Structure 1
Amino acid sequence: MRLHVGCAMWNLKSWQGRFLPPTIPQNERLRAYADWCNAVEGNTTFYATPARHTVESWAQQTDDDFRFVVKLPKTITHERRLTDIEGELRSFLYAMEPLGHRAQLWVQLPGSFSPADTGALPDFLRKLPGSQRTAVEVRHRGFFDDPGSAARLREALAETGAEWVTFDTTAIFASPPTTDAEREAWEKKPRMPRLAVALTDRPIVRYIGRGDAVEAAEGWRFWLDTVEGWLVEGRSPTVFIHTPDNTESLGLARRFHEELRTRLPALEELPDTTRNEPLTLF
């Protein structure tokens, strides 16, 4: 029984000297992060496809069961909207090859990608390697407010074995912001209904919590129940924990895993953090 947990990045200045060593060479930062979590969001790939040797370094710094959920470049998803992308897609897939089965491709679509555009998805997803795990994130309210549109999206994803990424911002919008980081999140994060979806054996949850660690943990109770159910069903979920400034997210991701292990003792443990762990996390 395995649960993957992680954050939106593998290095943050506020983590160093607290969760991670105070100084870390650039080529060792992912390895240090992997002592805490067993998954990470690959958000940097949205802005530019990295060199293949860079991705080879990522593979060398992580164990075989580490999970990368890597975002397709914005030129493919946002600028060309899944059409005329063969060259860019080929370059991206070549760069990601060193990750092998550890990579799950993440197709994050813009808010302007509406239910009327759903028909473009199966054709695009068929261009991806059949052996490659894929997940799609949509942000248009029509997919959440209209059951028919949601059903058509599910069908489109099922045709190619793709997952529907759940992006939960309900906790951050549950009460007015109290910090600058929360105010910025209110301005930039989409207000999306919470929807728990598991179309494959690898569902993905992106949870956005409050800046305070206690409040962030209180807000994920729904996901503790949901992910527990998925694990009991034999699925292997990935849960990413965000906070507005992500200062607490690394410790919180591990805490989420520990709370589920209390419920499910058979859940595989995360790596030992004894050498890096501070006296108290919260």
Structure 2
Amino acid sequence: MRLHVGCAMWTHAPWQGRLLPHPLPPAERLRAYATWCNAVEGNTTFYATPARGTVESWAAQTDPGFRFVVKLPKTITHERRLTGAEEPLREFLDAIEPLGPRAHALWIQLPGSFGPGDLGTLAGFLHRLPPAHRYAVEVRHQAFFEDARAVRALEGVLGRAGAEWVPFDTVTLFRSPPTSDAERDAWVKKPRVPRRSAALTDRPIVRYLGRDDVSRTVEGWGHWVGVVTDWLREGRSPTVFVHTPDNAEALTLARSFHDAVRARVPELEPLPEPAPVEPLTLF
């Protein structure tokens, strides 16, 4: 039994020399991160399809059981809105092929303007995707959280395609006013939607956004500790990504979340031991 946990990135300046060895060449950074967590969000692919050689390096630095949840490029999801995107989709699928089983799910994050009236487009797009991959969809239109008919319609589209609905839980962030620059920035940019915690498949994916204050982040994820515990006991295989506005402690928080679940499910397989960080020297 395994719970996969991770962060929004595998390299982050506040981690360097404190949690991860520094300096490290690019070809070693993901390997070091993978001693802390067993999953990562592939957010960089949203901005550009990576070179195949780059993806080969990602695969070489991780075990086959490591999970990438890789975001489709914005060219496909935001600019073309899933229509007429055959060529960029082909290029993307070819680029990520070296990940093999590590490509746990291809993540279709849709813009806030993509609403119930666009579900036919989403259904057609999912139907045309190759069955070799799993797919996970994140929506941000308010109707999918407030209109029961829209919720049922989206669940139907995803269910027929065997796709998961990815919740982005920002409830803790918006529970009280921001107290840092990073939190103020997140208040402007992140979606303010109700929490959703229903799984559609045997491999649910959760994105949880806390606060820069570690204690408030831990306090806010209590709901998810219970939900993930239940999923594991039902035989599901969840993946949970922990974010904070500045992500300075996200790496340790992801492991703490795993520990909190393992305290309730002792048979859960432990995470690997983090790579030691050598002290900095002057010479």
Number of positions where the alignment pairs a residue of Structure 1 with one of Structure 2: 278
The correspondence of residues 184-203 of structure 1 with structure 2, limited to 5 A, is 184-203=185-204
Secondary structure, aligned partner of 1:119: helix
Contact between 1:6 and 1:250, CA under 8 Å: does it hold in 2?
yes
Determine the C-alpha separation between the residues in 1 that align with 2:138 and 2:236.
Answer: 19
Look up the match of 1:176.
177
Secondary structure, aligned partner of 1:200: coil
Secondary structure, aligned partner of 1:41: strand
Letter in 1 for 2:89: L
Cα displacement (A) at 1:277: 9.7
Determine the C-alpha separation between the residues in 2 that align with 1:48 and 1:22.
Answer: 26
Letter in 1 for 2:191: P
Change in Cα spacing, 1:274 to 1:34, as seen in structure 2 (3 Å) is closer
Look up the match of 2:213.
212
The correspondence of residues 35-46 of structure 1 with structure 2, limited to 5 A, is 35-46=35-46
In the alignment, structure 1 segments of 5+ residues that lack a partner are none
Look up the match of 1:53.
53
Letter in 2 for 1:187: V
Q: Deviations over 1:173-198 (max 9, x none)?
A: 00111111111111111101001121
Contact between 1:165 and 1:197, CA under 8 Å: does it hold in 2?
no
Determine the C-alpha separation between the residues in 1 that align with 2:117 and 2:201.
Answer: 24
Contact between 1:162 and 1:200, CA under 8 Å: does it hold in 2?
yes
**Are 1:30 and 2:21 matched, yes or no?**
no
Q: Deviations over 1:28-48 (max 9, x none)?
A: 000000000000000000000
Contact between 1:70 and 1:105, CA under 8 Å: does it hold in 2?
yes
Look up the match of 2:243.
242
Cα displacement (A) at 1:124: 0.4
Secondary structure, aligned partner of 1:214: helix
Report % sequence identity. 65
Contact between 2:68 and 2:102, CA under 8 Å: does it hold in 1?
yes
Look up the match of 1:15.
15
Q: Deviations over 1:64-93 (max 9, x none)?
A: 100000000001000000010110100000
Determine the C-alpha separation between the residues in 1 that align with 2:160 and 2:278.
Answer: 44
Cα displacement (A) at 1:22: 2.4
Cα displacement (A) at 1:274: 5.8
Cα displacement (A) at 1:18: 1.3
Point out 4+ residue stretches in structure 1 off by more than 4 angstroms: none
Change in Cα spacing, 1:201 to 1:241, as seen in structure 2 (3 Å) is same
Cα displacement (A) at 1:152: 0.6
In the alignment, structure 2 segments of 5+ residues that lack a partner are none
Look up the match of 1:262.
263
Determine the C-alpha separation between the residues in 2 that align with 1:271 and 1:123.
Answer: 41
Determine the C-alpha separation between the residues in 2 that align with 1:3 and 1:45.
Answer: 24
CA-atom RMSD in angstroms: 1.2
Q: Deviations over 1:100-146 (max 9, x none)?
A: 12211000000000011111112101222212011000000000100
Look up the match of 2:81.
81
Letter in 2 for 1:172: L
Look up the match of 2:254.
253
The correspondence of residues 223-242 of structure 1 with structure 2, limited to 5 A, is 223-242=224-243
Length-normalised TM-score, structure 1: 0.97
Determine the C-alpha separation between the residues in 1 that align with 2:184 and 2:79.
Answer: 28
